Amino acid sequence: MYEGEHDERRDDGARHGGRDSGRDGGRQGGDRARTGAAGPADVRPLDGFTVGVTAARRAEELGALLERRGAQVVHAPALRIVPLPDDAELLAATKDLIGRAPDVVIATTAIGFRGWIEAAEGWGLGAALLDRLGAVELLARGPKVKGAIRAAGLTETWSPASESLAEVLERLLEEGVHGRRVVIQLHGEPLPGFVESLRAGGAEVVGVPVYRWMPPADIGPVDRLLDAAVTRGLDAITFTSAPAATSLLRRAEERGMRDELLHALRHDVLPACVGPVTALPLEAHEVTTYQPERFRLGPLVQLLCQELPHRTRPLTVAGRRLELRGQAVLVDGDLRPVPPAGMALLRALARRPGWVVSRADLLRALPGTGRDEHAVETAMTRLRSALGTPKLIQTVVKRGYRLALDPRVGGKYGDG
């Protein structure tokens, strides 16, 4: 399946790949995805969670959707879109299309189609291009592309109900493409499977490159996102295009941390992709991704609202209900932000609730290196203060610490 870039996406529903490791697998995106996980009415579904956004376009919109549901958002565009109004390749492709009529033209994105028309107008070729497009079979991948086509005074011949290039490909192959000339407006990333299938069917395929993906002008935010991912400062990363995923992996490799990133994505940091094509670079590295049923921003956010809360495990500790949420803790429904070091200690204690965890083991759980056991005591003091209830964590003299698990609810204490 081919889902284009994310400027075509809005709607409900969710689907995902399966999940291994110790995490709480996946669930279908029904009503829970729309209402959030069960919990106190004043707690939003993403309160306490931190989500990385790698999008180049509509990043602010995606970030706002996440923040309205409580998430902390780390913006790090993994690429940038460079328009090509002066590009010789685009000019040559436009002149060739005007001079030699194709049989079919496929418009894949609204921004790309508009950019093509605007570039042609800048070269004095706008009217000629519109005349040519009005005389051929013009296919539109989705509703926004249809809107751009009609805004230009044209009418599309057909558009797939699925908004997928896979359906466009199926239609063309059923019609037969042998000897036909097919022009496709590219949307910043190659479409090898699509193009190769048409060529295998005997078509001449011409790509029209309207803009290109390039590395971000400022690599700093991407590096900070990578650092946060490998130290588990992120709970999820969203991807809305395959080039963004590829760019992030490439930067991780340049910094010598690709394996660390992949391990985080496989086990702790949820990789949420807007669709199957976006997911391909990650799944090529055996990262199982989560995807909404409809390849749009809204369902992508709903998917996170469903999945992230269900990765938490409530505990009854010293008569209080605790729920660890990313970088915060719900204590009896009250959200308590916790510093990263304190959160690392709390997670180490929660892995074996009620069991003693030694200072040495807790020291290893702290982020960073070069610390001594005094760092554990300092972080523990701050953790207790953040939780607002010191008795939640018991000090076991000369041995370490443990959660004051209620044995009537959480089981018996262990010796660790």
Query: Taking a C-beta distance cutoff of 8 angstroms, is the pair 274, 300 a contact?
Result: yes
**Residue 407 scores a pLDDT above 90:** no
Distance CA 279, CA 243 (A): 10
Q: How many helices (H) and strands (E) does the chain have?
A: 17, 19
Q: Could you give all domains of the chain from N- to C-terminal order, each with its CATH number?
A: 6-79+216-311 (3.40.50.10090), 82-213 (3.40.50.10090), 315-410 (1.10.10.10)
396 backbone dihedrals φ, ψ, rounded to 5°: -105, 110
C-alpha 225/C-alpha 211 separation (Å) is 26
Q: Give the span between the Cα atoms of 396 and 388, in whole angstroms.
A: 20
Residue 107 has pLDDT above 80, yes or no: yes
Residue 287 has pLDDT above 90, yes or no: yes
How far, in Å, CA of 26 to CA of 388, rounded? Answer: 33
**What are the strands of the beta sheet with 357-358, ordered from one edge?**
357-358, 400-403, 393-396
Rg (CA), the chain: 26
pLDDT (average), residues 290-309: 92
The Cα 43–Cα 239 span in angstroms is: 26
What value does the mean pLDDT take over residues 255-263? 97
Nearest residue to 185 (alpha-carbon basis) of 122, 87, 120, 112? 112
pLDDT tens per residue across span 194-212: 899 999 999 999 999 887 7
Q: How far apart are CA 379 and CA 138, in angstroms?
A: 63
SS3 414: coil
Tell me which of 188-197, 223-232, 254-263 is least confident. Answer: 188-197
- For residues 363 and 376, the answer to whether their CB atoms sit within 8 Å is yes
Cα end-to-end span (Å), the chain? 50
Give the residue-averaged pLDDT of 232-250.
Answer: 92
Question: Tokens standing for 69?
Answer: 């549901």
What is the Cα–Cα distance from 251 to 377, expressed in whole angstroms?
Answer: 36
**Which stretch of DSSP H or E encloses residue 208?**
strand 204-209
Place of tokens 């492709």: 93
Confidence of residue 84 (pLDDT cuts 50, 70, 90): low
Report if pTM > 0.85: no
Q: What CA–CA distances, in Å, run from 95 to 124, 131, 165, 391?
A: 11, 13, 25, 76
For 185, the enclosing helix (H) or strand (E) is strand 181-186
CA 59 to chain centre: 11
